[in-house]
Amino acid sequence: MENQRSFHWAWVILATVFVDLFINYSVRIGYGVVLPEMISNLGFTRTDTASIYNSYLFAYIAVTPFSGYLTDRLGARRVITTCALILGVGVILMGTIQELWTACLFYAVVGIGASGMWTPVLTVVQRWFTPKKRGLALGIISPGYGLGFAAMGAAFPWILQHYSWRHAWYFLGAGALAMVLGNALLLKSDPESSGYRPWGEKEYPSGPGTATPAPSAKVSLSAIFKSRNFWIIGFSYFATAYSLYGVTTFMVDYAKTQLGIPIEKASLLATVHGFAQVLGVLTVLPLSDYLGRKKTIIISNCFIAASLFCIVFTGSSWSALCFFVGLFAVFYGPTFPIYGLCAGDYFPRSVMGTVIGAWTPFYGIGAIMSHWVTGMLRDSTGIYNLAFLTHGVMALAGLVLILFVHKRPS
C-alpha cells in the first residue's frame, strides 16, 4: 500500500462531486426559475407544475433507496457515473416538452438520474473523511447546489433574452453529460482500496506485518429499521423537507404574480437564495462538527420557521423580502447534508449509503406534499399566504421531533 503522499485524493473527490452538485441542483431547484415562463408558454396551472415536479420526486424517492444500497455494494463511482448519463438525457428531453404528460415523464427521468447525485455523493465524501472532518468536507461541496441555483437566477434572464426557456434545459443537459466522463475518470469509491486512509487521520504505518484498521461492523437491514433513531430522524426530515420546498419552488412566481414584481427582478430571488445557501453551508456545516447535528438542526429550524412567517408579513417590501428569503436560505442549504451526516453519526460506516437512501422517502414525501398543497392552496385562494404559513408550522414540527433523538450507544 502506498503511504507517503503529499496530496490526498480526497480533494479530487470533493472537486468532482462539487461540479456534480452544481449541475444537478441547477436542474433541480432551477425548475422554479423556469417555471413562470413554462406556465405562460404552455398554459399550465400551478397544480400542473407541482405535478411535474412531483413526478421528479416520485421517481427520485423510488430509486434513491436502491442507489444508496448499490453504493454500499458496487461503489459510488459506478452509481454516480451511470446516473449522470440518465440525468443528462432527461434534462435535454425537458427542452422538448409540449404537453403535461411529456413534462411529467421526462422530469421523472431526470429524477432517476438525480438519485445518484445526493445519497452516493454524501456516502463517498463521508468515507473519504473522518467523522470530525465530515461537516467541513460537506461544507466545501455544498456551495455547489447553492451556486447552481444562484447561477440559474442570474443566467436565465439572459437565456430568455437571446434564446428561449427551452435552451436553459439544453445547456444544463450538456453539462450533465460532460460529467459522465469526469466521474468515470476521477471518482474512487473508498480510500482503503486506493491506498489511503480517510482524510484527517494519520496514514497507515508502513512496513511488513503492519495491520490495517478493522472493517466497520456489519449491520442488517432489519436492525436499521428497528432503530428508534432511524424513524425519529426520518419523520423530522419529512417535516423539514415539507417546510423548505414550497417556498423555494414558488417564490419567483409569488413575487411576480402576487407582489407584481417584474420577472427580471423576481428571478433575482433565486440568486439571493443561492448565494445565501453558500454562506450557510460554509458556516453552519463546519459548526455542526462541534455543536453536533442535533443542536444544529434545532437552531436551523428555529430560523427557518421565523423567516417563513416573516416572508408572509413583509407585504410588498422588496428589501424585506430579499432579506428573509436570504435568511431562510442560509439554513436551507445546510439542512440536507446535516440530515445525511446523521447517518454517519448514528449508524455504522458500512451502511451509511443504505441509511441515507432509506431516509429519502421521508424527505421526498414531504417535498411532494409541500408542492401539491402549495399549488392547490394558491389555485383555490389566489394567494400563497396560507401555504407559506403552513410551511413555518412544519419547520417547528421537525424541530420538536429531533429533540427525541438519543446518542448512538458505543
Q: Domain boundaries in the chain? A: 10-193+226-402
pLDDT reported for residue 349:
72
pLDDT reported for residue 398:
95
| Helices 228-253 and 46-74: angle between axes, nearest 10 degrees | 140
Nearest alpha-carbon partner for 304 in 269, 279, 275, 334: 334
Taking the C-alpha atoms of residue 24 and residue 26, their distance in angstroms, rounded to an integer, is 5
Per-residue CA distances from 9 to 58, 63, 78, 115, 195 (Å): 35, 29, 18, 24, 10
Nearest alpha-carbon partner for 36 in 377, 316, 373, 264: 264
The pLDDT tens digits for 53-71 are: 888 888 988 898 888 888 8
What is the torsion angle, in degrees rounded to the nearest 10, for the CA atoms of residue 227, residue 228, residue 230 and residue 232?
A: 170
CB 194 within 8 A of CB 9: yes
- Whether the pLDDT of residue 145 is over 70: the answer is no
pLDDT reported for residue 6:
67
Kindly report the CATH number that applies to the domain delimited by 10-193+226-402: 1.20.1250.20
- Express as a percent the part of the chain with pLDDT over 70: 91
pLDDT reported for residue 410:
38
- Whether the pLDDT of residue 399 is over 90: the answer is yes
Residue in this structure with the C-alpha cell 428531453, named with its chain if needed: 93
pLDDT reported for residue 300:
94
- Whether the pLDDT of residue 214 is over 50: the answer is no
**Given pLDDT bands bounded at 50, 70 and 90, which one contains residue 202?**
low
pLDDT reported for residue 149:
66
**Looking at residues 103-127, what average pLDDT do you find?**
89
* Beta bridge partners of residue 129, listed in sequence order: 199
* Chain centroid, CA 156 distance in Å: 21
Cell of 139: 461544507
- Whether the pLDDT of residue 212 is over 70: the answer is no
**Looking at residues 339-368, what average pLDDT do you find?**
83
- Whether the pLDDT of residue 204 is over 60: the answer is no
Nearest alpha-carbon partner for 121 in 360, 402, 348: 360
CB 298 within 8 A of CB 403: yes
**Given pLDDT bands bounded at 50, 70 and 90, which one contains residue 236?**
very high
- Whether the pLDDT of residue 239 is over 70: the answer is yes
**Given pLDDT bands bounded at 50, 70 and 90, which one contains residue 210?**
very low
CB 285 within 8 A of CB 125: no
**Given pLDDT bands bounded at 50, 70 and 90, which one contains residue 207?**
very low
The pLDDT tens digits for 96-111 are: 988 889 989 999 999 9
CA angle (364, 369, 374) in 5-degree steps: 130
More confident residue, 349 or 203: 349
pLDDT reported for residue 252:
85
pLDDT reported for residue 243:
94
**Given pLDDT bands bounded at 50, 70 and 90, which one contains residue 264?**
confident
Cell of 111: 429524477
This prediction has a pTM of: 0.70
- Whether the pLDDT of residue 83 is over 90: the answer is yes
* Chain centroid, CA 404 distance in Å: 24
**Given pLDDT bands bounded at 50, 70 and 90, which one contains residue 155?**
confident
Q: Provide, for the chain, the percentages of residues in helix, strand and coil under a 3-state DSSP scheme, each rounded to the nearest 5.
A: 80, 0, 20
What is the chain's mean pLDDT, rounded? 83
Sequence letter at residue 401? L
**Given pLDDT bands bounded at 50, 70 and 90, which one contains residue 5?**
low
- Whether the pLDDT of residue 184 is over 60: the answer is yes
**Given pLDDT bands bounded at 50, 70 and 90, which one contains residue 4?**
very low
pLDDT reported for residue 135:
77
- Whether the pLDDT of residue 318 is over 50: the answer is yes
Residue in this structure with the C-alpha cell 451556486, named with its chain if needed: 147
Q: What are phi and psi of 201, to 5 degrees?
A: -105, 160
More confident residue, 389 or 316: 389
Helices (H), 95-212: 100-114, 119-128, 134-141, 143-162, 165-186
pLDDT reported for residue 233:
94
